[in-house]
């Protein structure tokens, strides 16, 4: 992620395994830390039709 990015500017991380589900994650020292590792991930930024 770019330096200076704020927590509220980060995309949400979703797992894709049969259905889409939100992953528990946190952002520390410029890295995402994700609590699980599904085969496929999707990053979604924005809300509604802006995502």
For the chain, which residues make up each domain, given as ranges? Answer: 7-44
Q: What is the pLDDT of residue 6?
A: 59
Report the distance separating Cα 4 and Cα 38, nearest Å: 28
Reduce the DSSP state of residue 38 to 3 states and report it: coil
Q: What is the pLDDT of residue 45?
A: 83
Q: Is the pLDDT of residue 2 over 70?
A: no
Summarize pLDDT for 19-43 with one digit per residue, the tens: 999 999 988 887 889 999 899 999 9
Reduce the DSSP state of residue 51 to 3 states and report it: coil
Q: Is the pLDDT of residue 7 over 90?
A: no
Nearby residues of 5 by Cβ (< 8 Å), 6 or more positions away: none
Report the distance separating Cα 36 and Cα 31, nearest Å: 15
- Would you say 12 and 44 are in contact if contact means Cβ atoms under 8 Å apart? yes
């Amino acid at each position: 992620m770019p330096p200076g990015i704020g927590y509220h500017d980060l995309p949400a991380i979703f797992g894709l395994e049969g259905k889409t589900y939100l992953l528990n994650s946190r952002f520390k020292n410029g890295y995402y830390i994700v609590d699980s590792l599904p085969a496929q991930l999707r990053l979604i930024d924005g809300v509604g039709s802006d995502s």
